[in-house]
């Protein structure tokens, strides 16, 4: 079990994610006001309250840092290299219909690197976290090292928009790929908690489209997977956040290679 200084950025990320998770858990099942955003997207009162609690904690502990919240946008100095990325409730639609598959994500970017991150499951009360070097899950106050595994053969495919690489690439088309169906078992949970599950060995892989640099949704999960030793690239196997973007994160190289071949078949079939 790691020995963590209570004043470290990693411990602050854990504490912030736990604070947000407590709000999400406490408001679950209640009548929640909805606040429309764009293209059918919305936030609930739980999103806003969880973000307020998280941001209050971060600003108190690190008053000179900037913060980007899913609901409130960016605040803080423009010239700082330290930026907290906060997604107070990833899986809002799930939550609104009383589905417990949600996450609370907090990550710190220093320069171009994510140096601390935490992804909390409000209902199991687990927190997946990294100090930028190793990845752990905290449950009942005890930390255990995250160990990726492809044994489950479960692959989560994100079907939520936007789809910047369509029509040449659409993650949904993996579900109709005969080789994919033979080798893997698809899952669609509609929350980035599933990215953390790859690091934890509960998913073999995760695939999504999108431009994900500084994403409040994905920054924490990507950092967890990198620290745990997963294979993490863009959708064409390129370095993350370059070219077409997107994300393929796999528990091991064999799984990653197989998925890239299947994704490459999509491009070939469109030519």
Output the 3-class SS for the chain: CCCCCCCCHHHHHHHHHHHHHHHHHHHCCCCCCEEECCCCCEEEHHHHHHHHHHHHHHHHHCCCCEEEECCCEEECCCCCCEEEEEEEEECHHHHHCCCCCCEEEEEEEECCEEEEEEEEECCCCEEEEECCCCEEEEECCEEEECCCCCCCCEEEECCCCCCCCCCCCCHHHHHHCHHHHHHCEEECCCCCHHHHHHHCCCCCEEEECCCCCCCCCCHHHHHHHHHHCCEEECCCCCCCCCCCCCEEEECCHHHHHHHHHHHHHHHHHCC
For the entire predicted model, the pTM comes to 0.94
Backbone φ, ψ for residue 64 (5° rounding): -90, -5
Which pLDDT belongs to residue 267? 59
- Whether residue 83 contacts residue 66, with contact meaning beta carbons closer than 8 Å, is answered with yes
Measured CA to CA, the distance from residue 79 to residue 98 in angstroms comes to 41
> Mean pLDDT by 10-residue block, N- to C-terminus, for the chain (271 residues)?
68 98 97 85 95 97 96 90 97 96 98 97 98 97 97 96 88 91 95 98 97 96 98 97 96 98 73 45
Which pLDDT belongs to residue 5? 53
Which pLDDT belongs to residue 203? 98
- Residue 28's DSSP bridge partners are none
Which pLDDT belongs to residue 79? 85
- Whether residue 119 contacts residue 105, with contact meaning beta carbons closer than 8 Å, is answered with yes
- Of 158, 46, 159, 38, nearest to 97 by C-alpha is 46
Could you give the dihedral angle defined by the CA atoms of residues 33, 17, 215 and 59, in that order, rounded to the nearest 10 degrees? Answer: 90
Which pLDDT belongs to residue 271? 45
Which pLDDT belongs to residue 1? 46
The CA-based angle 233-237-242, given to 5 degrees, is 65
């Amino acid at each position: 079990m790691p020995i963590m200084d209570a004043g470290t950025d990693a411990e602050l990320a854990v504490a912030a994610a736990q604070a947000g998770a407590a709000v999400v858990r406490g408001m679950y099942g209640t009548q929640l006001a909805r606040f429309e955003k764009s293209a059918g997207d919305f936030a609930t009162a739980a999103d806003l309250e969880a973000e307020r609690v998280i941001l209050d904690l971060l600003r108190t502990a690190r008053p000179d840092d900037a913060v980007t919240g899913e609901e409130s946008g960016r605040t803080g100095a423009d010239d700082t290299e330290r930026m907290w990325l906060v997604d107070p409730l990833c899986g809002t639609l799930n939550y609104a219909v009383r589905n417990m598959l949600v996450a609370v994500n907090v990550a710190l970017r220093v320069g171009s690197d994510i140096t601390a991150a935490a992804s909390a499951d409000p209902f199991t009360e687990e927190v997946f976290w990294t100090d930028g070097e190793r990845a752990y899950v905290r449950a009942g106050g005890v930390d255990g090292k995250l160990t990726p595994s492809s044994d489950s053969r479960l692959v989560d495919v994100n079907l939520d928009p936007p789809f910047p690489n369509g029509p040449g690439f659409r993650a949904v088309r993996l579900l109709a790929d005969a080789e994919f169906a033979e080798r893997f078992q698809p899952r669609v949970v509609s929350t980035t908690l599933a990215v953390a599950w790859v690091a934890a060995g509960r998913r073999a892989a995760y695939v999504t489209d999108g431009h994900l640099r500084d994403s409040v949704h994905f920054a924490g999960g990507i950092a967890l997977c990198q620290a745990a030793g997963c294979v993490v690239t863009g959708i064409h196997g390129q370095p993350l956040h370059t070219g077409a973007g997107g994300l393929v994160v796999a528990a091991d190289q064999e799984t990653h290679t197989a998925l890239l071949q299947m994704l490459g078949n999509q491009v070939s079939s469109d030519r």
